[in-house]
Structure formats: structure tokens, C-alpha cells
Structure 1
């Protein structure tokens, strides 16, 4: 036996909580505390076992280091195939890692020989995750947590949850699989060890007697199950007041034996994966037995053979602190352990000491002799329930073929048969010289290494590149030097913009849609007018401007956003903001020095940041802007106005809405009409009775000064807002009138409409005109139909001092939708005569649900297209924080929240009359109900879709065979296809499948 403690295996002196050897024996992983993070490190095994390799500087010791966990890593476990590495930690997350090629140097990190990437992140636990275990067939991954639960994950389709086991009343600190795959064991601080059946995920038994005297003194409770499946050995147990490792026999779960001798609580038990064979002293013929290692808080390790009554070896004072984890290599002759003191120990046994391992075929024959045919990789995660009908068997077989034919990211443990050939990199490099003598290398594309997603190959120094610069081969890239002299890559902007103009334009904060109509001054013929001495900025955002700039200070002082009063900021962030503020103020002083003669910098005052009192005064004078998010489909054209003149009206109910205003001239590029421009000119003409205002529409290949255009109209009152699309142009005037024109010929489809007050929002969408006044009164007109959809509907009750309107939209039906700064989305329903809540981005029910898991599964299945976004989903996307939850479903509050949210989405879909949304959320709801096994809810859905063929359905006279234009029977057939994935619901499938076939035959 050899005992080794490699000093270079360390987490910089921090605790190492877990260690596991790769199945090929060439590498091992450790997990523990890093530098303000959780750290997972993959090490080379060869330098541990060989002193010569350890001294070889060309052989890397550290293969890869991953610091992705946000808190300490508690467990690392390789999958049985060696393809994946799972890690869990105090950040409530489980990360699945996969080898992705050779290493390199990450910015700010260290050089590594291998590269491992995170292919899945599993989030469902609400507390620290303490232990992990892969099922013997790699189809399941079990995790346990301080949230008193054990979660079974579908390892063939991460991050799907198979089930959640909730029976413990204390922290669950260890899980282990039966090597046959029939049972799962979990041990908790509630002084119980529970055995679970994998065929129905029900509790088989709960063992309490050996743990009654135990206390929660260990960080983990890692159990071990013998490779022959006959014995389960627990962690911390008590017998006669002393710590033991309890032996639990599979037959009857008898607990009359235990391993004794350790002075403190047992933390970890790990069986050798091999069944050993050796001729023992008291027997002449070879005997089969199992080997078990036990680690304790007394800093010692003991190794036991099931054929002996005393331990094979005891290693005392191996560490300076508690033993936390143990692992055996696949060959069965190497044992590794880690400790809280941040070190790792390796024990290498000789075959004469520990015995000879049985071959895989001999081990399989032993399992078949004891248990019958061994459990193979399941085709489904619904366990071994017998399929009762041939129809369901045919459906499941078709689903299995479709699943196998559809490539997924993580869906199989088998290796791909084809290996992609990596692209060859460039073989030539072009070097030129600039006019000032500097070298210039022409950039060339270098292809990345092809990642086949296979299990990593055994690591050896002969197959890996060396890391010594003296032994590396020199580059074979040919350098082609050209004598051409090129100009330096330095150029000045063709039309430099005044600094003050940039500052003013930066204050107009608006969200941009994917394909917004552009509101710009055409470059070829439209010359922007000047606003208070500064060239007007072209506006290309689709939402109405609601930012406000003080008139007297608009040309020299940009709008400053007032910082939160009670928010603490990091010191680094404060420094950056101070530097930015100094630069902005310095740029302001430079840009307006010539235009504003009374600037304070010319009075001899010290340059730099002004006193705090002056800055506070300036902030008080500058009003805060209200950002407008991008509208959902369909695209609407907003009101546009000059940013030079903005005021705020305070209504009697203290409702503050901004007023739209145009100072002199406005040019709008009409969406849907390339090259056509709408121009509004205030006080364009003089008359004996007062100034006249013009509205002109023309193609921009003509001069702005040309008197004639495609059409023009004269307004008696000053224009304050304008909006247009390919069909209509709308202009709001200072006298609170709304003027509507046809975009093509300029005809008036309606007489001027009198508004109750000045406009705050103006939107033209298809044939609808939307106006929201400063007093919070909303009106919508259907211009082609010459009727009002909504007149003076108050929105004041939706708003308060801290909530404002940040987005307005008009649906195709003419119903208006409002997005508020609180994250809420409202739609006015003309049938209900009320505002309906379509979404709330800050709703705790939505944030606690796991709807995204099921909605994503629907779109990936291809039944519902995710592009373009359905109307309801597009509207809700504008809500701040909407759909941010990505937590898989679990029982309890999360499951109830998911059900509530999905049913709410279906109701909203029917309100919007959106078949795509209804189809999406119905399918997601069905998948959730099937996953949770809610048969009663599924029957309600099936009854509604089936129709009068069922006794509980409504009468045939009132029943419609379509819903939102979709066939209910087609939807029922899709629903039953999903139901077929859960064998516990196969009788419900058979019942409704027969009724559906009967209903279709009777048509």
C-alpha cells in the first residue's frame, strides 16, 4: 500500500468538500471554495501516481478550473459514462459540464490543458444543494438539499424534472442509488434514512432506529451501496452512544450490523465499484466480497472487506480536519479522500492486499443470478409500468423514434458515429506598412476547434501538447510582406456634430423596435431647422417622445436624470459616474461657449465641477424623462415633436402627463412609403389675421423650399404633435383639435375632432388614431369606419405619483393597450367595458412559476411556432421582468403558481382572440398537468375539447367544434399525445382516445 498527499492539489488553502475520479482513471475532479466563488478543478491523475511524471514540467497537473458557481461547491460527480461532470453548491444550482476540446487561457485566469463548458444549469432547489448521485444507467441524476427535498432530474433531457421527493422534515445531506437501479436512498438530519422505489417514486421504507441518538453535527451524510446490491451502509449512526456506520441489508431492510471504531461521527461511506475476489486465510477457495471505505470527523479513514470482521486498514490523523468525501477508481485499487483542511490524500493498494476485481461480464452474470435481468437504460422516465393497450404502445414507439431522430443538446450517452473534420486555419499572414512606418497585420479568420460533444479521451502526457516554450514547434505560417504604403486608419467625421447637439439627443431615451418606422429628416433634400440655435436631431425611434427639457436651458444644458434618493452605490460605480459627469460638463462648457456669452467659465470662475448647490438647482430645473418601451407587434407610428419645448401639466387629480410640442419645424419619414416625407411648419406663412401653419406631404427628391408638393394643408392653430403611416396622417393642434388626413392625397376623412385637453400621446396604427390627453383621458377612433372605438376613457385610476405610462399600443381590433412603469400591462376590453390586466412583470405568482419550462418544450416540439411572437407574448414582452422565471416545476407553492399562471395565460389568449397564443398555453398547461399527474384537471380539458360525445359535456346545441378557428378534436388529439408520455395516465388516454375515435366516426 502507498499513501500519497500531493501538495499541489489545493484550492489555495480553502476547504475541498468533494473529490471524484473519472471512470477512465486519467483525471479526477475536486470541488470546494474558491476566490469569492465556488470552484471546480479537474486534475491530472498521472502526476499523483508517478513521481517521475510529477517532476516533468511538460506534463500539466491542473487540466481545467471552473469558477462558475456563485458560492461554495459541495459535491462533484462524474457520470457513469464519463461524458458529464455534475457539480452543486450553496448557490442552489447544479451545473452539468462537458469536455469541449483543448485548453487555453481565460482572461484573468490561468492556463489550462483542457476546456470544459457548462451544457445545462439545473435550478429547482430553494436552498444549498449538498449531494449528487448519477443513476447506474446515467438516465437520472439525483440531488438533495437543505430545502428537505430530493429531486430526480432527467439526464437524457436536462433540465426536465422527473419527480420531487418530499418526505423528509430536515436537511437532506446524502443520496445514493441502488446499483441495480430499483431503489434510491436518502439520509437526512431528521434522523431518518428513507428508501424510495424508482418504478413509482413512492417510499419503500423509512429507517429510524439507528439514528435516534444522532445530532446534526456533520456537513454531509454520504452513504454507500455495495456493488452487489445487498448492503446499504449509512453515514452517521449511533450504537451504545458511539458513532457507527449502519449496515442495512436489502432483504427486509434489517439493521442488526454496523461498522464501529471511529471516535466521531461518520461523514462519508464509499464502496469500491468492483466485486473483489481473493483467497482469504481461513478459506482455501477464492471468495467474493465487497470493499468499503469510511471517513469520519475524527480525521481518519478505515477500509473494510465484507468478508472480514475487522477493518483491512485504518489510517489515523490523515488530515488536520474532518474527512468530507471518498472516491475509488474504476480499477478498484486507488482510493482518494478530501478534507476540510483543503488537502487530498491518495491510497494505492496492491492486488495482494485488496484482491482481484471481477470482470464486467462476471459482475453482470452475478446480478442476473441474484435479481434476474439487470435494469437497462429506460426508454422513458415513467419507470417500468406495464403498457396495457396496443394503441398506447404504438404511440409511445412513434414518440421514441421521433425523439431518437431529433438531435438535442444533451439527450444520449452514446457517442456519435461521425466525427467532424476541423477547418484548417490560415497558412499565410499578410504584413504591410503604413505611411508613418508602422507595421500592419491583416486580420484573418481562424476557425474554432470543432466540439463533437463526446466523452473526454483518457489524458496522458504522450497525447497532450507540451507547455514549454523551448520544446514547442515553431509556427509554419508564411509571412507575406507587401511594399504597399497605406494611409493610417485615422479619419475625421464628414459632418461633425456640435457637442451640445449630442448631449441633447442623448437625453431622448426611447426603446427601438426591431423594424421601427423611421422619423428622420431626409439627407438629400430636407434641411433640418434649428431649434434654439442647435440643429434639430433626426428622430428614428417608434415611440412618442416624452422627455422634457427646460426651454430656457435647452441649447446649453442637457437633461440630467435625478439619481435615486435612498440607493447606495458601490464606490467604483460612484467614481465612474463622477468622471463621466465631469466629462459631460466640460464638453457642455466647450460647445456652448460661443453661443452663450454669459457662461460662468468666462467670468474667471475656477473650472471643473460646479458647487453642489448649483448642480441641485440645475437638477430641479430639468425635468425627469419617461422612457417609452418598444411596442409589440403590430408596429405603430408614434407622435413626434421637437424636444426643444416640453412642459408638464398637473391635473386636478395630481396626474402628471407630459405635453407634446413642436417648436418650429418637424420632418417625418412616412413608414411604408419610401422617400415620402410629412413636414409640419409652424408660422410658415403670414396673413393679416395671424400666422398660418402648414402640413405638407411630398417625396424628398424635391427641395424643401419648393412651394408645391404632393399635397399640403393649412392649419389655423399651431401644431404640437404629428403621427402618420402609409394610410393616415394625424396632427394635434394647440387649440386641442385633432386633424386627420389621408396620406396618399391629403383628403380629410373626418372633420376636426375636439379633444378635452392637450395631447400627451398620439399614435396612428393602420386605420386607428389613438390619443391620450394630459388629463389621462384616452380616445381611439376607427377612421375608415368613421366611428369611435373608445371616447374619453379615464386611465387616472391606473396611475399614481410613482406610476406613469411608458408604452401605448393599438391592436388590430382597435383595443388600446397601456404599459406602465410598474411593469403592468392593461388592455381595454369593449365587451367587458373595463381595463383587463394582461401581464404584471413583478407579479410574485409569475416569478415563482415554471411556465417557461413547459412553453419552451412546446415550441421545441414544433407544434407551435415561436417566430414571430404571438400577440399576447409580444405584448407581455414589453412588461419589465415578464417571463424571467426559469425554475423547473416542483410540488408545493411553485406548482400552484405554475398552474395559476398558465390558466391566466389561456384566459388572456381568449380575450385577445389569438389562436397562436391559446394553442401555445393550452399545450404548456397540458404538459404541466401530465408532468404533475393532475388527472382531474386533464379530464376537464378533455371533456371541453371532446364535446357532446361525453355525458358530462354541454349540450350539442351550444357546443362549437372550433375554438378561435382551431378544431377542438385536433387539439384533443395533441393533448392525448402528451398524456401518453405518462404511463400512470394510460387509462385516461385509452378512455378519451376511444371516445374521440367514436366521435369522429359518427360525424
Structure 2
């Protein structure tokens, strides 16, 4: 036996709380306290075992250091395959690490020989995480915490939670798996050790007698389970007032034996993963036994063999503080331990001392002889429950075939192929020269090495990476020289020289043909997107809830040509200046109002138009945008408006819509047809008259309807239209409605309570929101009001405004607020209903996306196009954001609450696609969580009067939103069949469904 204590294995003198040797034996990991963080370090094993290798400067000792934890690391554990490393700490987080190629230097860190990246972060514990354990088949990862819970994670699909075990009433300080995979054990400060079944995650037994006298004096309680599965050895127990390690037999969970001898509490127990074999002196038959190491707060380690009544060896005073963790290598001859004093010790045994290990085939044969079958790696997380009915067996077989026939991405623990061909960089580069003779190389993308995330290879000095900044071989990249000359990338001067008016006109005319459609107005008008919601919608394409415009995409304004003549009369000078401005507006679509240089000093009369526009930009939310005289097409039309702030009695602030002079609108759904509104277009002895015209700007277009015009006595402030209706709001708070085809009035002028803030024409409905927060919707073809003067003031305040409006096909209005909330007015309930809240903590804490995505991927519900409810909620800021993975407790309750709320909203909207989607998601969640009572409620409702608890046949309808309830029940039962613990529920309702279908 050799006893080694490498001084270079240290966390700079800070405590090391955990140590674990990699399955290949070439490296080991330590976890503990770092520099104001939690630290995980991966070390090279070779320098520990060999003094010659330790002295070799070319062999790195530290392979990788990870300081990602925010607090002290309590445990590190390698997966059985060696592909992953799990670490947990006081920051309530579990990090899953994976090898990602050769190392390097991290900014602010030290040079490393390997690189490990965090591939998953598991957050569901509400307190410090103290211990971890990988299942024998690597499909599960167990973690325990001071929050009194044990969480089982799905290692095939991080961060999914399989279940949460909540039966302890104290801090859970240790977990360990049965090597057969049938049980899980956990030990807590509540003086109990609990055994859990893995087939249904129910408690098998709770052991209390050996722990009644124990106190919570240990940092951890790390147990060990023998590799043959026959014995479980606990940490801190008491017998006769002395500390022991309690031996618990698998058969009957008997506790009549223990390991004694340590003077202080036991902190860690670790079995050698091998079953040892040794020949007895007076027998020809070799004896099989297990080997166990025990660490204690008395700073000593004892090694026991089940074939001996006394310990094989006791190592005292090995550390200056408590022993915290133990680990064996895969070969079974090396034992490592770590201590609170920040050091690590290594004990190397000879085969003559500890025995010979059984081979993997011999160990498998032993398991088959004892338990009837050996442990096999499962392809899924289904338990070992026996399938009781042939119908369920046939359903699961069909599901398995469908899964195998559908190519999907599976997060498997199997080792990926290492022979993948890496992506190569470019074989040539393009070289050009600028007009000033400078050489330019066209940048080309150089792909990085593909990271397959495979298990790390055994580390040795021959495999360590080498880095070099030079090479003896010449580059094979071919340089492709091009003879064309390009202009140098020189920035233009801030104030370019003015161009002629003809050049500006010709350039802008070409831009108009290539630019996307815009709303046009010959005079100063406001950009439609800044008005927030005055829109006209076509029948097939409703207007979006919100629309904004990016000012950065607009071209900079050009200066108009300068005139050297100085008129004598200042009034003539001002008049000519304004004519030039109007002329520039009629020529440009996106050009800003030009700045006109005049004499210095303050002038009398109105300020120049440019100053008024600048003042409007600084003081108001909207932006004035000139437009050409010739209108162009637009998919969603907005009437320009000045956003004048109005303060109502309840301090509600909504923008006022306004049209200065003229508005031109391309009518959606009517190619070539234009709606024009001209204020003060005609003069009369009794005052100016305002004109509304609808005409074809291209007479060759063969379209039904003709040109028409109407005269208004009041100035128009807003307009909206679609292929069926045109609506104009006037300054005297009247709403004028016309038929788009011939200009007839389907309704007389409607009097509004105040000036409009929003105007929307959608299908046959007209939507008006006034500045006082009164909302009205009219169904024009039916000549009736859907909603009249319904107040939205209680939905708004000084910090919340309306950012989007929409009228559904039923005529119900929907409002999207700046707070992220989505409201719909329900005429049946006579109230505003909350359809979504993007900042709702319940929605943000739920894991509904996991189940909704699974539904769409299964093909039962199409995700494109989005269902109505989902499309409305998608516009809410932050909606469908999910932070917490699926778990029992608060996250599980949040998921259930949100899914049921989505189903209620789907029925309110009368949307069958939404209802189908969220019902399927809810069923998947309930099946995953095993909530049989809730599932029965759904099955009863879908089954109908064939069941005793169903409603009477007179009131029961076999369809919901046009979908057959029995078809939905059949889909539900297909999902239920995936959880074998619910197979009796499946059999019961499957028989009832067949009976109901037969009786029809």
C-alpha cells in the first residue's frame, strides 16, 4: 500500500468538499471554495501516482479550472459513462459540464490543457445543494438540498425533472442509488434514512432507529451501496452513544449490524465499485466480497472488507480537519479522499492486499443469479412496471414504431462518432485594390472545429495539445486577384454640396418605384406607425396590433438649391420660401422638410415650416413625414395625426388624431383605387367645405365600382378604409361611413362623445376609441352596435397606454397595453377579460412551452399559421417566456394554472385550434406529473353519459367547438398510455369509449 498526498492539489488553501475519479482513471475532479466563487478543478491523475511524471514539466497537472459557481461547490460527480461532470453548490444550482476539446487561456484565468463547457444549468432547488448521484444507467441524476427535497433529473433531456421527493422534514445531506437501479436512498438531519422505489417514486421504507441519538453535526451524510446491491451503509449513526456506520440489509431492511471504531461522526461512505475475489488460505474455493471506505470527522479513514470482521486498514491523522468525501477508481485499487483542510490524499493498494476484481461479465452473471436479470440501459424513462393489458401493449408498440420511423434529435448518452470530418476553412481569398492603390482582402468565414461533445479520451502526456504561432509548411490558400477598381470606403462630408432640383426629382422618382408602399399626403402629415392604431384592414389581412417605424432607415434630408436673390419685401420672401418647401414635399417621399436659410434675426408672422416640424419632433410622439402627390399601395393604412396630449377628468392621456390638409390612402383589396380626404377643398358663402373622394388612379384597371365623392361640413381628422367600408371621423366628433364601392351611406352620421384617438375598419366593423377612453364598435352590414361607449379608463393609468387594437371576426375588440396585458371584451360576460399578461410571474414560472412544443412536434396540432389566441398573445411583450423547468411544487402549480387558463381563453374565443393545442398540452403535463384525478375529470367530460359521473345525456353535447369529444378522448388515452403507472386508467376509459362507440 502506498499513501500519497500531492501538495499541488489545492484550492489555494481553501476547503475541498468533494473529490471524484473519472471512470477512465486518467483524471479526477475536486470541488470546493474558490476566490469569491465556487471552484471545480479537473486534475491529471498521472502526476499523483508517479514521481517521475510529477517532475516532468511538460506534463500538466491542472487540466481545467471552472469558476462558474457563485458560491462554494459542495459535490462533484462524474457520470457512469464519463461524458458529463455534475457539480452543485451553495448557489442553489447544478451545473452539467462536458468536454469540448483542447484548452487554452481564459481571460483573467490560468492556462489549461483541456476545455470543459457548461451544457446545462439545473435550477429547481430553493436552498444549498449538498450531494449528487448518477443512476447506474446514466438516465437520471439525483440531487438533495437543504430545502428538504430530493429532485430526480432526466439526464437524457436536461433540464427536465422526472419527479421531486418530499418526505423529509430536515436538511437532506446525502443520496445514493441502488446499483441494480430499483431503489434510491436519502439521509437527512431529521434522523431518518428513506428508501424510494424508482418504478413509481413512492417511499419503500423509512429507517429511524439507528439515528435517534444523532445530531446535525456533519456537513454532509454521504452513504454507500455495495456493488452487489445487498448492503446499504449509512453515514452518521449512533450505537451505545458512539458513532457508527449503520449496515442496512436489502432483505427486509434489517439494521442489526454496523461499522464501529471511529471517535466522531461518520461523514462519508464509499463502496468500491468492483466485487472483489480472493482465495482463502484453507479453501480451494475463492471468496467474493465487497470493499468499503469510511471517512469521519475524527480525521481518519478506515477500509473494510465484508469478508473480514475487522477493518483492513485504519489511517489516522491523515488530515488536519474532517474527511468530507471519498472516491474509488474504476480498477478498484486506488482510493482518494479530501478534507476541510484543503488537501487531498491518495491510497494505492496492491492486488494481494485488496483482492482481484471480477470482470464485467462475471458481475453481470452475479446480478442475474441474484435478481433474475442484469441492469440494462433503458431507452426511455419508462419504469419497469409490467404491462397488464394487450391493448396497451399494442398502443405502446405502435408508438415505438412511429418514434423509430420519425427522425428526431435525441439527447442520448451514447458515445458519438469520433471520425466526423471537420469543416475546412476557405481554400482561397479574394484580393482587390481601391482607387487609391490600397490592397483589400474580402473577409471570409472560417468555421470552427465541430464540437460533438464526446466523452474525454484518457489523458496522457502524448495527447496534450501543442500551440505554435508559426509553421514550416507554406500556406495552401490561393489568392484570387481581381483587376476591378473599387472606391475607397471614405465617409462623406457632413454638409454636401446642394444638388439641382431636377437631379433630386429624378433620383427620388426612381426610389419611389423601388421603395415599399407608403401612405401619402401632399402636405405635412404624421407617419402612420407613430399614430398607434388608426388603420384600415382588408378582409384577408387584418392590421397588426402594433407597428413602429425606425427613423434610422430614413434617408437624410438634402438641402434645397440656394437662391442668391434677396427680395425687398419680407412677406414675399416668406411666401416664396413656403412655396419652395411645398414643391420639395411634392417631389420626395421620404425626404425631410428642408432647412431654408434666410436672413438672420427674428421675423414677424408664422415661423418657417421647418422650425414648426422640428418643434413637433421634440415635443410630440409622432413624426411628420412628407409624401408625394401620387399615392402608392399600402397593406395597412393609417391616417396621419398630430399627437396632441389630452388630459381627461380621470387624467387619462390619449393622442388626438388630426389631418392638416390632405390625406391619400390606397384602399387595400382594391388595386388602383384611392381614397382622398381634402380639408377646406371647396369654398362656399357659409364656410369652407371638406371633400372625400374615391377614384381609380389607373383607368385601365377593370374593377367593379366607380369614382365618387362626398362633401363634409366639418374638417376631417382621421380616415380608414378597406374593400367594403370607408370611415371618416370629423372635428365635430361625428363618424361618417361610406360604402367603398359606390360611396353610399349605410348609416347616418354617428355622434361620438369626444375626438377619436383610434380608428380601425376591419371587415364590416368600425372601431373607434376616443381620447376620453370610450370604445365603440359598430357592425355596419347588420346596422347594429356591438359595443357603445365602453370605458377603458380602468385598464389604463398614467404609465400604461394602448399600443395595439384589433377587431376579431365576431366584432369583439382586443386591446394590447404597454404593460404587456391583452384584454378582450366579451359581450356574453359584459366585461373585459384578460387573455394574456406578458409579465405575469405565474406564466413566466411555468413550463408550458415544453408541453406545447411536444404537441406541435407530434403533428396532432399544426403550429403554422398560429391559432387565433396564440397569435394575439404573441404580440404581448414577454409572453410565452418560460424560465423554470418542469418540476413539482411552485413550477408545477404554475404550469397547471396557466394551461387551464389557456383552455378557458380558447373557449371564450371559440377557437378550436387553440383549444385542441392547450388541451393536448394539459394532458401531457398531467400524464407527466401522474395527476390521475385531473385526468379523470377530463376523460369524464369527453366520454359523456356512458360514465356514471358524466352529465345527463340531455344536456351533453358530443362536440366541443366543432370537434368530436370522443376523438379528443382517443388522443388523450394515447398520451396516457405513455405512463405505465396510469395503465389502469387507460384500460378503464378505453373500454368505456369502445362501449360508447358501439352503442351509437
Q: TM-score, normalised by structure 2?
A: 0.81
Cα pair 1:637 1:723 within 8 Å, conserved: no
Report the CA distance between 1:774 and its aligned residue: 1.6
Q: Is the 8 A contact 1:295 1:302 kept in 2?
A: yes
Name the stretch that deviates more: 869-878 or 673-682. Answer: 673-682
- Farther off after superposition, 614-623 or 55-64: 614-623
Correspondent of 1:594 among 583, 591, 598: 591
Work out whether residues 641 and 720 of structure 1, in 8 Å CA contact, stay in contact via their aligned partners in 2: no
Cα distance, 1:640 vs. partner? 7.8
Question: 1:921-965 deviations in whole A, cap 9, x for unaligned?
Answer: 111222232233333332232222223333443444443322112
1:382, 1:569 → 2: CA distance? 91
- Alpha-carbon distance, 1:140 to partner: 2.1
Aligned-partner Cα distance in 1 for 2:562–2:959: 55
Q: Is the 8 A contact 2:533 2:638 kept in 1?
A: no
Q: 1:817 to 1:41 in 2, by over 3 A?
A: farther
Local SS of the residue matching 1:925 = helix
Q: 1: CA distance between counterparts of 2:578 and 2:5?
A: 56
Q: Per the alignment, do residues 732 and 165 of structure 1 end up closer, same or farther by CA in structure 2, a change over 3 Å counting?
A: same
| Mapped partners of 2:498, 2:563: distance in 1 | 36
Residue pair 2:673, 2:697 contacting (<8 A) in 1 also: yes
Distance 1:969 1:430, change over 3 A: same
Q: State the alpha-carbon separation in 2 of the partners of residues 158 and 445 from structure 1.
A: 32
Which secondary structure does the structure 1 equivalent of 2:444 belong to? coil
Q: Is the 8 A contact 1:930 1:982 kept in 2?
A: yes
Contact 2:739 / 2:746 at 8 angstroms: preserved in 1?
yes
Contact 1:83 1:456 (8 Å CA) reproduced:
yes
Distance 2:56 2:450 in 1: 30
Counterpart contact for 1:293–1:326, Cα < 8 Å: yes
Is 43-52 or 823-832 further displaced after alignment? 43-52
Greater mean deviation of Cα atoms: 723-732 or 769-778? 723-732
User: What's the CA shift for 1:402?
Assistant: 3.1
Distance 1:780 1:980, change over 3 A: same
Cα gap change, 1:615 to 1:486, in 2 (>3 Å): closer
- Residue of structure 1 equivalent to 2:971: 974
**CA–CA separation in structure 2 for the residues paired with 1:130 and 1:631:** 71
**C-alpha separation in 2, matches of 1:482 and 1:292:** 74
Question: Deviation per CA, 1:770-805, whole angstroms, max 9, x where unpaired?
Answer: 111122211112334443221211223333455443
For residues 149-173 of structure 1, the C-alpha deviation after alignment (integer angstroms, 9 at most, x for no partner) is 1122333344443322111001111
Cα-Cα RMSD: 10.0
The answer to which of 624-633 and 416-425 deviates more is 624-633
Preserved CA contact (<8 Å) 2:76 2:85: yes
Q: Distance in 2 between matches of 1:631 and 1:209?
A: 91
Q: Check conservation: 2:805, 2:816, Cα contact below 8 A.
A: yes
Q: Is the 8 A contact 1:817 1:828 kept in 2?
A: yes
Residues 163 and 743 from structure 1, CA distance in 2 versus in 1: closer, same or farther, beyond 3 angstroms? same
- Most deviating of 309-318 and 180-189: 309-318
784-793 or 616-625, larger mean C-alpha shift = 616-625
Decide which moves more: 386-395 or 668-677. Answer: 668-677
1:597–1:338 CA distance, 2 compared to 1 (3 A): same
Q: Are the structure 2 counterparts of residues 465 and 843 from structure 1 closer, same or farther at C-alpha, using a change threshold of 3 Å?
A: closer
Work out the CA distance in 1 between the residues paired with 2:341 and 2:505.
59
1:661-689 Cα offsets, whole Å, 9 max, x none, are 34455566666678877665555666655
Partners of 1:509 and 1:628 within 8 A in 2: no
User: Which residue of the partner structure matches residue 816 of structure 2?
Assistant: 819
Residues 664 and 579 of structure 1, relative CA distance in 2, 3 Å threshold: closer
Tell me how far 1:64 sits from its aligned partner. 4.7
Cα distance, 1:388 vs structure 2 = 1.4
Task: Tell me what 1:985 maps to.
Answer: 982
**1:382 Cα deviation after fit:** 4.5
CA distance in 2, matches of 1:12, 1:608: 80
Whether the 8 Å contact between 1:526 and 1:700 is mirrored in structure 2 is no
Tell me by how many angstroms 1:441 deviates: 2.4
Distance 2:38 2:483 in 1: 53
Give yes or no for contact 1:146–1:172 (8 Å, CA) kept in 2.
yes
Q: Would the aligned equivalents of 1:427 and 1:478 in 2 still touch at CA under 8 Å?
A: yes
Kindly provide the CA deviation profile for residues 846-875 of structure 1, in whole angstroms up to 9, marking residues without a partner as x. Answer: 445443333233223222223332222222
Residue 974 of structure 1, CA deviation: 0.6
Query: Does the residue aligned with 2:513 lie in a helix, a strand or coil?
Result: coil
Task: Quote the Cα distance in structure 2 between the aligned partners of 1:756 and 1:451.
Answer: 66
Asked whether the 8 Å contact 1:548–1:658 carries over to 2, the reply is no
**Contact residue 545 and residue 640 of structure 1 kept, 8 A:** no
Separation in 2 of the partners of 1:110 and 1:609? 70
Q: Cα gap change, 1:892/1:641 in structure 2, threshold over 3 Å: closer, same or farther?
A: closer
Residues 88 and 130, structure 2, Cα contact 8 Å, conserved in 1: yes
Shift of 1:495: 11
**Structure of greater Rg:** 2
Range with bigger deviation, 803-812 or 481-490: 481-490
1:572-601: CA deviation from partner (whole Å, max 9, x where unpaired): 999999999999999999999999999999
**Equivalent residues of 2:768, 2:776 under 8 A apart:** yes
Aligned residue for 2:569, secondary structure, equals helix
More divergent stretch after superposition (426-435 vs 487-496): 487-496
User: How far off is 1:763 after superposition?
Assistant: 2.4
Q: Distance in 2 between matches of 1:295 and 1:575?
A: 102
Distance in 1, Cα, partners of 2:327 & 2:900: 48
Deviation per CA, 1:432-485: give whole Å up to 9, x if none. 444455543221222343344543433444345313547897754345566765
Residue 226 of structure 1 deviates from its aligned partner by 1.3
Residues 233 and 246, structure 1, Cα contact 8 Å, conserved in 2: yes
Q: How many angstroms does 1:174 deviate by?
A: 1.1
Secondary structure in structure 1 of the residue aligned to 2:152? strand
* Equivalent-residue separation in structure 2 for 1:894 and 1:404 (angstroms): 32
Distance 1:755 1:456 in 2: 74
Q: Which residue of structure 2 aligns with residue 193 of structure 1?
A: 193
**What is the CA–CA distance in structure 2 between the aligned matches of 1:513 and 1:938, rounded to whole Å?**
60
Which has the larger displacement, 919-928 or 690-699? 690-699
Report the alpha carbon displacement of residue 603 of structure 1 after superposing the two structures with TM. Answer: 14
Moved more, 745-754 or 121-130: 745-754
1:547-578 Cα deviation digits (max 9, x unpaired): 9999999xxx9999999999999999999999
Task: Please report how far the alpha carbon of residue 889 of structure 1 lies from its aligned counterpart in structure 2 after TM superposition.
Answer: 4.4
CA contact (8 A) 1:729 1:764 kept: yes
Structure 1 872/706 Cα, relative in aligned 2: closer, same or farther at 3 Å?
A: closer
Q: SS of the residue aligned with 1:483?
A: strand
| Per-residue Cα deviation, 1:522-569 (whole angstroms, up to 9, x for no partner) | 99999999999999999999999999999999xxx9999999999999
Could you tell me how far 1:223 is from its partner in structure 2? 1.2
Q: Is the 8 A contact 2:519 2:634 kept in 1?
A: no
- Is residue 2:816 matched to residue 1:809? no
Q: 1:253 Cα shift? A: 2.4
Normalising to structure 1: TM-score of the pair?
0.80
In 1, Cα distance between the equivalents of 2:792 and 2:35?
52
Give 3-state SS (helix, strand or coil) of 2:214's partner.
Answer: coil
171-180 or 635-644, which deviates more: 635-644
Cα distance in structure 1, aligned partners of 2:264 and 2:705:
98
- Using the TM superposition, name which of 363-372 and 971-980 deviates more: 363-372
Query: Contact 1:546–1:660 at 8 Å: present in 2 too?
Result: no
Matches of 2:437 and 2:666, distance apart in 1: 47
1:743–1:974 CA distance, 2 compared to 1 (3 A)? same
Cα distance change of structure 1 residues 543 and 770 upon mapping to structure 2, 3 Å threshold: same
* Aligned CA distance change for structure 1 residues 545 and 953 (closer, same or farther; 3 Å): closer
CA contact (8 A) 2:498 2:558 kept: no
Gaps of 5+ in 1: none
Deviation at 1:416, TM superposition (A): 5.3
Question: Residue 719 and residue 226 in structure 1: after superposition, are their counterparts in 2 closer, same or farther (change >3 A)?
Answer: same
After superposition, give the CA deviation of every residue in 1:37-60 in whole Å (9 maximum; x if it has no partner): 544444444444445555656655
Verify the 8 A CA contact 1:520 1:540 in the aligned structure 2. Answer: no
Are residues 280 and 433 of structure 1, via their aligned partners in 2, closer, same or farther at CA, if it must alter by over 3 Å?
farther
When residues 468 and 549 of structure 1 are mapped into structure 2, their CA distance, relative to the original with a 3 A threshold, is closer
Out of 606-615 and 338-347, give the one that drifted further: 606-615
Structure 2 unaligned residues grouped into runs of 5+: none
Report the CA distance shift for 1:795/1:597 in structure 2 as closer, same or farther (over 3 A): closer
